[in-house]
Structure 1
Amino acid sequence: MIQGIPGASGIAIGRALLLSRNAAVVKRETVPQGEIGRELIRIDEALGRTKERLQRLRCETERKLGEREADIFAAHLAILSDPELEEEIRRSVSEEARSAEAAVTAAVRLLADEFEAMDDAYMRERAADFRDLGQALLEQLGGAGLSPFAGIEEECILIAYELTPSDTAQLPPLVRGFVTEAGGATSHAAIMARSLGLPAVVGARAVMQSISDGDTIVIDGASGAVWVNPSPQRLGVYERKRAEWQAGVAADREQAGAEAVTLDGRTIALGANIGSAAEAGNALANGAEEIGLFRTEFMYMNRDRAPDEEEQVRQYGAVFAAMGARPVVLRTLDIGGDKELPYLNLPAEPNPFLGWRAIRLCLDRRDLFDAQLRAMLRAAGADGQLRILFPMISTVSELRRAKAAVEEAVAGLRREGSAVPERWETGIMIEIPSAALLADVLAEEADFFSIGTNDLTQYTLAVDRMNEHISALYDSYHPAVLRLIRHVVESAHARGKRVGVCGEMAGDPSAVPLLVGLGVDELSMNAPSLPAVRRIVRGIRQAEACGLALAALGLEDGHQVRELLERGL
């Protein structure tokens, strides 16, 4: 038995497949002086193509798994945009006459080695990010071969020294689980495996030397145990454990039609976060009672122009058709910060997360905003349960201007004879402390609140979650964040308004009792998380959850809150 670190719970049994990576070969270390200009052009082109690839991966990952899992690709984009890395690569070519491949390899190795030598485990694991970027750049330079997964034709357990975030995001369905030598519980591969529901063990020393292709492998993701060619008796034990685990997953899914009602009778509405109309079916299959967040910005990304009104009507209309009489929350364009649209030619900003983005951009670019609002209203038609959600509201005047734009769109469509809902709702994202603190005033104007815990945490704690040097300070369980959530809930309920949570916290099983205790009415998450969250809600008592939340509000930091949650209700 090989003991590793638990990466993602679950039991997987299958034949081993050792990941054979076609490493890029640096054919020339140096180039003649006359070719330096060409090498610099190759680097510029490779950087551009790599950024485009990372943007696609980021969008796909956020749609499928969520914002937290996609954050790594946003971080990679930030690293590639850091002048220090590019300057080191270009300096290596210009001053040392290195080839583009040799310069990239040297610069990435230098940075990866620096991080790997750090004392902090989390920072050591970030060395994989630099190796991932280096591999991506070398592929764009033409130095690497096929995808490492190109030869997978049957179900297997993947064995690797390391899986980068890009690897994990692109794992084929035939991979039933994985084991890596490198990495820890906070590595991006482990985090993404948990979101994928894929059993995984990380940090298993010498696993590449201990396992051969075709060996029978058993992974116990909860304990970190890896068994190689187990005895028939042990294999039988784990086959029964796997059946029990799979039955538990199936049981959660069978409860998809049941209401999320606590043991003492409080109902929590459960919704799904989606990024495309195609995901509505999966949301329903996992028991979504509503679309709690449609991230419409994905329709605008990875293309050379904005979608026109008709295209948007088709996309939104497909969601309303799939959901029937269930509510659909459509968030207006939330672009800027780490989400860029090159065709808008937005000016570069020193701090884009605090800049011209989301509702601020939409209120200035009424051509974009009006087309989107018209499309939303037309798609809902006369019968759709439309809820329009405005992101990054920080002042009452912004909300009033946004609501006025909706009214104008409605009036225009009615003049044209288009069917629009008799009634719709307008709500706001609570993700800026000013909005949280003004919740009592904003509740007079908004029909509902949706708390975005990711950004609310970032802005409250003044922590850029993309900055690896301080990202450990980013903690949604911090009592300061919890107190803001409680204030928002109390302010909204005093005025008869609902409060939902649509950030990553909503789908975190350990956070569910806390959020229920804080009084949240709705939880919206990525569809695969819905069955487990429903089971948790149905197994707790509101009164006990309230006591837990009250205790959490009086603690000093997120670490103490987690300890409280681990002790349970």
Structure 2
Amino acid sequence: MRETAAGPRILLRRLREMMAEALEPQERLDRIVREIAQNMVAEVCSLYILRADSFLELYATEGLNPGSVHLAQLRLGQGLVGTIAASARALNLSDAQKHPAFAYLPETGEEIYHSFLGVPVLRAGRTLGVLVVQNRTKRHYRDDEVEALETVAMVIAEMIATGDLARLTRPGMELDLRRSVSMEGLSFNEGVGLGHVVLHEPRIVVTNLFNEDSDQEMERLEVALSSLRLSIDDMLSRRDVAFEGEHRAVLEAYRMFANDRGWVRRLEEAVRNGLTAEAAVEKVQSDMRARMLHMTDPYLRERMSDFDDLANRLLRQLMGRGPDALAEVLPKDAILVARNMGAAELLDYPRQKLRGLVLEDAAPTSHIVIVARAIGLPTVGQVKGAVSLSENGDAIIVDGEEGQVHLRPQADIEAAYSEKVRFRARRQQLYRELRDRPPVSKDGVAVELLMNAGLAVDLPQLAQSGAAGIGLFRTELQFMVASTFPRVEAQERLYREVIDAADGKPVTFRTIDIGGDKVLPYFKGAQQEENPALGWRAIRLTLDRPGLLRTQVRALLKASGGRELKLMLPMVTEISEITRARDIIDREVRHLSRFAHHLPTSLKLGAMVEVPSLLWQLDELMSAVDFVSVGSNDLFQFVMATDRGNTRIADRFDPLCAPFLRLLRQIAQAGKEADKPVTLCGELAGRPISAMALLGIGYRAISMAPASVGPVKAMLCELPLEALSERMEIALAKNAATTDIRAELRQFASEHDIPI
């Protein structure tokens, strides 16, 4: 073979000329393998492409029996070619037949060849095929020859991805790129969505692959890398990447990738071999992803998303594209697929066109998940590999009930889910018919069904759901979707809009609950904490920064002029916090009175029971407030020492266990004895079976996502509540270690034909 570096550049130039010619797909492939063989002085060059049935089919060859094209095939993992495809790693052998994986295909006539070089055809880390050169003499191929073949493989990968080879496939022999994939994740919001993929950060398609001037491309690469490093330093200083609480070690790993000399060296080498700077980034990114996906260390594999993000940022720098991810033309049934995204970014998309959301990362308490629930979007998270496996426009199904995603689903799966969607639509019609029916149990007990909200987009759902009011308005969502602290005027406008939309129905505003997992990137006062859920957050933060609370209270008082204001304090730990907050509120009332502002007709102050310490202060609590709301999500987290954002243990403990239900019953009884209203806000309220448990232990007001009001009301209308209460008393009196409350509830529902 040639001993100069000119070979790869000449080969790429010839490929560029061939790509520009109007050729049939098979003719193009035949000429490509012929050109590779000639350029590399190889006696054989063969291209195998991976089919959806996990077989590698010979698509083109120079040197082997031409009659074996489209007939010779190897299973994934079989032979040298199958081994390369399965491992996504090149094989460079001086005597291929002595390798333990060697498999002889008699139809090809390759038994006389000894030296073997095979590289995977990769795109976004996925193996689409294998490209091979062979010679009769025994020798190892040089590193620059391996690099040249890998570069050619990248060009072929783009041919496969664009669908050029689809006409060469036989019926039932579709390429792997189009195969159906089912992925497991976690259900973040219920519902089923059928539609087509819209990548939140669309994969940048590099169309200009070959450079005209290597020195100029090298300069472009250096400028883009410098700009990338500066942007990362700025991002880290602003803690944008720490948005969801990653440890500092992860942030430093992110920076390390951007400054890694090995990465830069591979980029420079690809440019010297004739690729443009952006094509070099795409090639090295795909190679790196394939290698990291086969690492056994799960931590290193997870860091791949950091590397992907860096490579995509670098591509955008090189191609002069801004970070705006909103698709210009969105399909009417768009399902967003993203590694992660901000809450504000989701709201940029037109809601009427969205059918679902798939996230590779995120936790159930992430900002994006909170907003997705608020707008009723079926959401599945922790779906590893979703972005790299998807292409814009792919058919996709999101099953938010089972936590499953079906990409390019087969016809029978799509038909089954279409029926499921029709069934859900019929149920939704039933819920709409129940909308104006009073929420009263079968034996005449009235229950207040309220909804949770936090954004202006939630407000139309108050009338649509038939909720009796807003039991929890999360005021922090306005802060989370803003780029700076909302001014008092902006807050006042939103709060007045909420009260006007409620049209006389009660609204309970929770004061700003930031900190912990709700970090505002523009808030400079927060610091990295070892245990953010137990740290400087909610009422603790606003009492230490009283200006925040004063501004919000002033906006709420002005917006509520002439009407009732219900104000609730989050994460109260001791009664003194309520006293201090009331002093701030009273001061604002006096200030507005002095300037003759129109004030609320009444002001009721409440507190959320989320911290276990309040369980030993219930009498004092009931005396200090006008009402109480139980935040079941955080309370369960703290009582059971279970981090809801930790996917390993988030589902380990059942909130419908006897100990936790006894605790919730204690709070409801304390409210009844003190004649103070008690509402439960949290995920427990939004599922018919858990809502049934809450009603059975004494709750008569529960607040939930708007979409849950219908199913819960359907359950309530068929529920003999007094009989359930008696059953719950007996169940909770039993040994907690042997009592399955969930099973008891299901049995009761079955006995009384209650829809759960």
Aligned equivalent of 2:203: 22
Question: 1:221 and 1:470 mapped to 2: Cα distance?
Answer: 20
| Of 362, 374, 394, the match for 2:542 | 362
When structure 1 is superposed on structure 2, of 285-294 and 404-413 the one drifting more is 404-413
Aligned equivalent of 1:257: 436
| Matched-pair contact (CA < 8 Å) for 1:108–1:130 | no
Aligned equivalent of 1:66: none
Q: Secondary structure at the match of 1:245?
A: helix
Q: Deviations over 1:3-42 (max 9, x none)?
A: 968979878778x7798963688x999x999998766435
Question: 2:725 and 2:508 mapped to 1: Cα distance?
Answer: 28
Query: Residues 300 and 243 from structure 1, CA distance in 2 versus in 1: closer, same or farther, beyond 3 angstroms?
Result: closer
Query: Residues 408 and 155 from structure 1, CA distance in 2 versus in 1: closer, same or farther, beyond 3 angstroms?
Result: closer
- State the AA in 2 paired with 1:263: K
Question: 1:555 and 1:109 mapped to 2: Cα distance?
Answer: 52
Q: Deviations over 1:376-396 (max 9, x none)?
A: 1221112x2321101111111
Q: Which runs of 5+ in 2 are unaligned?
A: 1-179, 210-216, 268-280, 750-756
Q: Shift in Å at residue 283 of structure 1?
A: 2.0
Aligned equivalent of 1:41: 230
Query: Residues 176 and 409 from structure 1, CA distance in 2 versus in 1: closer, same or farther, beyond 3 angstroms?
Result: closer
Q: Deviations over 1:319-363 (max 9, x none)?
A: 111112211111112121122233352344333322222212222
Q: Shift in Å at residue 473 of structure 1?
A: 3.9
Q: Secondary structure at the match of 2:251?
A: helix
Tell whether 2:251 aligns with 1:86: yes
Query: Residues 105 and 321 from structure 1, CA distance in 2 versus in 1: closer, same or farther, beyond 3 angstroms?
Result: same
Query: Residues 350 and 325 from structure 1, CA distance in 2 versus in 1: closer, same or farther, beyond 3 angstroms?
Result: same
TM-score by length of 1: 0.73
Tell whether 2:545 aligns with 1:372: no
Aligned equivalent of 2:314: 141
Indicate the structure (1 or 2) with the bigger Cα radius of gyration: 2
- State the AA in 2 paired with 1:88: A
Question: 1:310 and 1:426 mapped to 2: Cα distance?
Answer: 23
Q: Which runs of 5+ in 1 are unaligned?
A: 55-73
- State the AA in 1 paired with 2:313: Q
Aligned equivalent of 2:678: 499
Query: Residues 219 and 389 from structure 1, CA distance in 2 versus in 1: closer, same or farther, beyond 3 angstroms?
Result: closer
Q: Secondary structure at the match of 1:292?
A: strand
Tell whether 2:504 aligns with 1:337: no
Q: Deviations over 1:122-154 (max 9, x none)?
A: x9xx98x76665554443333598999948754
Q: Deviations over 1:88-125 (max 9, x none)?
A: 344455564323979988998788667x888xxxx9xx
- State the AA in 2 paired with 1:461: M
Question: 2:492 and 2:294 mapped to 1: Cα distance?
Answer: 50
Question: 1:340 and 1:200 mapped to 2: Cα distance?
Answer: 23
Aligned equivalent of 2:458: 279
Tell whether 2:655 aligns with 1:482: no
Q: Secondary structure at the match of 2:523?
A: helix
Query: Residues 557 and 179 from structure 1, CA distance in 2 versus in 1: closer, same or farther, beyond 3 angstroms?
Result: farther
Question: 2:221 and 2:330 mapped to 1: Cα distance?
Answer: 44
Query: Residues 433 and 88 from structure 1, CA distance in 2 versus in 1: closer, same or farther, beyond 3 angstroms?
Result: same
Q: Shift in Å at residue 248 of structure 1?
A: 1.6
| Matched-pair contact (CA < 8 Å) for 2:285–2:308 | no
- State the AA in 2 paired with 1:41: L
Q: Deviations over 1:181-216 (max 9, x none)?
A: x99xx9x9999799946599999xxxx99x99899x
Tell whether 2:456 aligns with 1:456: no
Aligned equivalent of 2:619: 440
| Matched-pair contact (CA < 8 Å) for 1:4–1:202 | no
Question: 2:256 and 2:392 mapped to 1: Cα distance?
Answer: 42
Query: Residues 136 and 536 from structure 1, CA distance in 2 versus in 1: closer, same or farther, beyond 3 angstroms?
Result: farther
| Matched-pair contact (CA < 8 Å) for 1:9–1:220 | yes
| Matched-pair contact (CA < 8 Å) for 2:671–2:677 | yes
Query: Residues 299 and 264 from structure 1, CA distance in 2 versus in 1: closer, same or farther, beyond 3 angstroms?
Result: same
| Of 456, 465, 469, the match for 1:290 | 469
- State the AA in 2 paired with 1:375: A
TM-score by length of 2: 0.57
- State the AA in 2 paired with 1:98: W
| Of 526, 534, 540, the match for 2:719 | 540
| Matched-pair contact (CA < 8 Å) for 2:257–2:307 | no
Aligned equivalent of 1:97: 262
Tell whether 2:257 aligns with 1:77: no
Which structure carries more relative contact order (alpha carbon 8 Å, separation 6+)? 1
Tell whether 2:580 aligns with 1:401: yes
Aligned equivalent of 1:61: none
Q: Shift in Å at residue 405 of structure 1?
A: 2.4
Q: Deviations over 1:268-304 (max 9, x none)?
A: 2122211124422222221121111111112333545
Structure with higher helix content: 1
Question: 1:442 and 1:111 mapped to 2: Cα distance?
Answer: 54
Question: 1:558 and 1:193 mapped to 2: Cα distance?
Answer: 34
Query: Residues 90 and 407 from structure 1, CA distance in 2 versus in 1: closer, same or farther, beyond 3 angstroms?
Result: closer
- State the AA in 2 paired with 1:402: A
Q: How many residues align?
A: 524
Query: Residues 241 and 132 from structure 1, CA distance in 2 versus in 1: closer, same or farther, beyond 3 angstroms?
Result: same
Q: Deviations over 1:514-553 (max 9, x none)?
A: 1111211211122222211221222212123324543257
Query: Residues 83 and 498 from structure 1, CA distance in 2 versus in 1: closer, same or farther, beyond 3 angstroms?
Result: same
| Of 486, 491, 495, the match for 1:307 | 486
| Of 556, 571, 580, the match for 1:392 | 571
Q: Secondary structure at the match of 2:623?
A: coil
Matches within 5 A, 1:113-132: none
| Matched-pair contact (CA < 8 Å) for 1:310–1:375 | yes
Question: 1:450 and 1:440 mapped to 2: Cα distance?
Answer: 15
Q: Secondary structure at the match of 2:602?
A: coil
Q: Deviations over 1:481-516 (max 9, x none)?
A: 322211111111111111111122221233110111
Q: Deviations over 1:35-75 (max 9, x none)?
A: 987664354356679x74x8xxxxxxxxxxxxxxxxxxx9x
Question: 2:593 and 2:539 mapped to 1: Cα distance?
Answer: 25
| Matched-pair contact (CA < 8 Å) for 1:152–1:174 | no
Aligned equivalent of 2:213: none
Cα RMSD between the aligned structures? 5.2
Q: Secondary structure at the match of 2:690?
A: helix
Q: Secondary structure at the match of 1:343?
A: coil
Query: Residues 361 and 98 from structure 1, CA distance in 2 versus in 1: closer, same or farther, beyond 3 angstroms?
Result: same
Matches within 5 A, 1:67-216: 77-79=244-246, 82-92=247-257, 94=259, 96-99=261-264, 135-142=308-315, 150=327, 154-155=331-332, 164=339, 166=341, 173-174=352-353, 196=376, 198=378
When structure 1 is superposed on structure 2, of 420-429 and 137-146 the one drifting more is 137-146
Question: 1:39 and 1:214 mapped to 2: Cα distance?
Answer: 31
| Matched-pair contact (CA < 8 Å) for 1:276–1:299 | yes
